[in-house]
Structure 1
Amino acid sequence: MSDPFSLSIIVPVWMEAAGILETLEALQPIRARGHELIVVDAGSPDGTAALASPFASSVVQSGRGRAVQMNAGASVAKGDVLLFLHADTRLPLNALECLTSFFRSDRAWGRFNARLSGRGVMFQTIAWFMNQRSRLTGICTGDQALFVRRDVFEALGGFEPVPIMEDIEISRRLRLVSRPYCIKNPVITDSRRWEQGGVWHTIFLMWRMRWRYWRGESPETLAHSYRSDVRNGKD
């Protein structure tokens, strides 16, 4: 089957040996239709890159940090559309058909609705608020699998090489080009971050980080604060 556009899926990874095969196996039907799957590893010592190699079009090594890694993947991508996918997120089965509708639209970029893998009303509520926030603000987060036309991404200079909030920062710039295209059929993101950190604690932490970012605190300061909070939560 021939699609009217070419797609490059870029997956930044760090220490993902335990789950990378499941992630990449789910993407093989898309790769089998001639699209590109780029894994960007930041030197994981657990063998992530070796495990990924047979299931990816290419495995790229880069410095650590999602923004840096995603830029590295985009620099070698050949697709008309770039899709940035977290290693713990699964695309819907009809993702290519949905992206075809995007490609034929006049929008420069977009995102999927998100759903969390955890069962229970709380996880459904978190996802609902996440999607409504994006609908109202035009801001996309990494869990929603941001996609963008490659020429637009290159014209904007890609992601800012910041340690946190790179998704919000690029959304602000992309929003000046067009409103995001929303694919309502959701991606499914692993809920372990909320489960391990505590649902309410994680919600408040993420909102606090965004509030501080909107008030003008630097991504470097926020990244240090975020890492300290996570470490303290594990003690």
Structure 2
Amino acid sequence: MISVVIPTFNAAPTLVHTLSALVPAVVDGVVQEAIIADGGSTDDTSVIADAAGTHLVQSERGRGTQLDAGAAIAKGDWLLFLHADTVLEPGWADEAASFIERVGSGRRKQAAAYFRFSLDDDGFMPRLVEMLVSLRCALFALPYGDQGLLISRAHYARLGGFRPLPLMEDVDLVRRLKRRELVGLKSRAVTSAQRYRTEGYFSRGFRNLGLMVLYYLRVPPRYLARLYG
């Protein structure tokens, strides 16, 4: 049913947890395969991918390029694009399967779905970031890649897929969807807060906001990728 596509670059520290959260869905037949689209990792990413029984595809580094490379070999009728430091909480597969069934039966029109953003950290600042992300999604229908994206392969093809961008590939694709074609699911996608902890919540938050402003001002993504780090 679902092919999960995960772009990686030296993702060994988090990849095990991301893949482990998919196991129950594999057992239940919701996830058909997991594809690791690697951009030239030099750590144990490929070892983990092989041990987990995933399909490993090597591509030029860049999330947009990697994601599209993974989608190109996917066998499932539905694609789930997921970051390598994001863990889907238990119950996500049932909700995803219900969404797919509604679309497949015609009870709702063709759409893509994303998960509720969450950070694996305690305290006020992580909750504030989560609240602001929820607000962004509600006001602008603009989920990011760390919330996952579940979309039928046919719909993905009609949109033209991910473009070969080093950053903002998720925003670029989502903006090609109409607001009514985006559905927020209740299950959480719990993402690593390591960057926030390392750089500081305010610094990282303002950097992300600044990058988005620059993107809308048409600054080339290759420059944004350098600023992102």
* TM-score normalised by length of structure 2: 0.91
Partner SS, residue 181 of structure 2: coil
- 1:87 equivalent among 84, 95, 103: 84
Counterpart in the other structure of 1:185: 187
Which whole-Å CA distance do the structure 2 matches of 1:94 and 1:79 have between them?
A: 20
Q: How does 1:57-206 map to 2 (within 5 A)?
A: 57-103=54-100, 104=102, 105-175=108-178, 178-206=180-208
Q: What is the one-letter code of the residue matched to 1:213?
A: Y
1:12: how far off? 0.8
Residue deviations 1:196-216, cap 9 Å, x none? Answer: 111100000000000111122
Which whole-Å CA distance do the structure 2 matches of 1:102 and 1:217 have between them?
A: 36
Counterpart in the other structure of 1:46: 43
1:46: how far off? 1.3
Counterpart in the other structure of 1:210: 212
Equivalences, count: 221
Partner SS, residue 25 of structure 2: helix
The CA RMSD over aligned residues, in Å, is 1.5
Which whole-Å CA distance do the structure 2 matches of 1:161 and 1:23 have between them?
A: 24
Counterpart in the other structure of 1:230: none
Partner SS, residue 188 of structure 2: strand
Counterpart in the other structure of 1:23: 18
For the 8 Å contact 1:163–1:219, the answer to whether it is kept is yes
1:54: how far off? 2.3
Q: Which moved more, 1:140-149 or 1:53-62?
A: 53-62
Which whole-Å CA distance do the structure 2 matches of 1:174 and 1:40 have between them?
A: 24
Q: What is the one-letter code of the residue matched to 1:161?
A: P
Partner SS, residue 86 of structure 1: coil
1:43: how far off? 1.9
Which whole-Å CA distance do the structure 1 matches of 2:109 and 2:89 have between them?
A: 23
Which whole-Å CA distance do the structure 2 matches of 1:45 and 1:92 have between them?
A: 29
Partner SS, residue 19 of structure 1: helix
1:18: how far off? 2.5
1:61: how far off? 1.1
1:139: how far off? 1.2
2:4 matches 1:9: yes
Residue deviations 1:106-139, cap 9 Å, x none? Answer: 2421211111111001101101110120121111
For the 8 Å contact 1:115–1:188, the answer to whether it is kept is yes
Residue deviations 1:76-128, cap 9 Å, x none? Answer: 11112111111111112111211122211324212111111110011011011
Which whole-Å CA distance do the structure 2 matches of 1:175 and 1:156 have between them?
A: 11
* TM-score normalised by length of structure 1: 0.89
Partner SS, residue 10 of structure 1: strand
Which whole-Å CA distance do the structure 2 matches of 1:22 and 1:147 have between them?
A: 19
